Structure 1
Amino acid sequence: MGRATDRRTVVRIDVDGDGSVRRRPDTLSAEEPFEIRVGPAGPGRRAPLAVTMRTPGDDLDLALGFLFTEGVIRSADDVLTAQLCAGTDQPNTYNVVDVVLAADVPPPVTDPSRNFYTTSSCGVCGKASIDAIRTRSVHPVADDPMRVSPRVLAGLPDRLRERQRAFERTGGLHAAAIFDADGELLAIREDVGRHNAVDKVIGWALRAGRVPLAGHLLMVSGRASFELTQKAWMAGLPLLAAVSAPSTLAVDLAEEAGMTLVGFLRGTSMNVYTGADRITHPSPVPAA
Structure 2
Amino acid sequence: MGRITARRRVTRISVGQRTSVREDVLAVEEPLEIRVGGQSLAITMRTPGHDIELAAGFLVSEGVISRGEQFSTARYCAGAEGTDDNLNTYNILDVTLAAGVPAPDPSLERAFYTTSSCGLCGKASIEAVRTKSAYEVGADTLRLDAALLATFPDALRAGQDVFDKTGGLHAAALFNGETGEMLVLREDVGRHNAVDKVVGWALTNGRLPLRGTVLMVSGRASFELTQKASMAGIPVLAAVSAPSSLAAELAVEAGMTLVGFLRGSSMVVYAGAERIANVTEADAAAAASAHQQQEVSVA
Give the TM bin, normalised by the shorter chain. over 0.9
Q: CA deviation at 1:285?
A: 1.6
Paired residue for 2:192, among 186, 190, 195? 195
Amino acid paired to 2:149: L
Match of 1:82 in 2: 74
Amino acid paired to 1:48: S
Match of 1:54 in 2: 46
Partner of 1:285: helix, strand, or coil? helix
Q: Does 1:129 align with 2:129?
A: no
Checking the alignment, whether the CA contact within 8 Å between 2:42 and 2:109 is kept in structure 1 is no
Q: Does 1:178 align with 2:170?
A: no
- Which piece of structure 1 moves more, 274-283 or 26-35? 274-283
Q: Does 1:274 align with 2:284?
A: no
Paired residue for 2:35, among 14, 34, 37? 37
How many residues are matched? 280
Match of 1:8 in 2: 8
Separation in 1 of the partners of 2:190 and 2:233? Answer: 22
List per-residue Cα deviations over 1:145-192 (Å, max 9, x = no partner). 101111111111110000000000000100000001121100000000
Amino acid paired to 1:173: L
In terms of fraction of residues, the more helix-rich structure is 2
Q: CA deviation at 1:4?
A: 1.1
Match of 1:98 in 2: 94
Checking the alignment, whether the CA contact within 8 Å between 2:214 and 2:237 is kept in structure 1 is yes
Paired residue for 1:147, among 129, 143, 148? 143
Separation in 2 of the partners of 1:172 and 1:160? Answer: 15
| TM-score for the superposition, normalised by structure 2 | 0.89
Amino acid paired to 1:213: L
Match of 1:43 in 2: none
Match of 2:207 in 1: 210
Match of 2:237 in 1: 240
| TM-score for the superposition, normalised by structure 1 | 0.93
Checking the alignment, whether the CA contact within 8 Å between 1:49 and 1:115 is kept in structure 2 is no
Structure 1 runs of 4+ aligned residues shifted over 2 Å read 85-93, 109-117
Q: Return 5+ residue gaps in structure 2 as ranges.
A: 291-299
Amino acid paired to 2:75: Q
- Which piece of structure 1 moves more, 96-105 or 123-132? 96-105
Q: CA deviation at 1:111?
A: 5.2
Separation in 2 of the partners of 1:188 and 1:268? Answer: 22
- Which piece of structure 1 moves more, 171-180 or 76-85? 76-85
Over aligned residues, Cα RMSD in angstroms?
A: 1.7
List per-residue Cα deviations over 1:36-88 (Å, max 9, x = no partner). 1112xxxxxx1100100000000000000001110111222122211122446
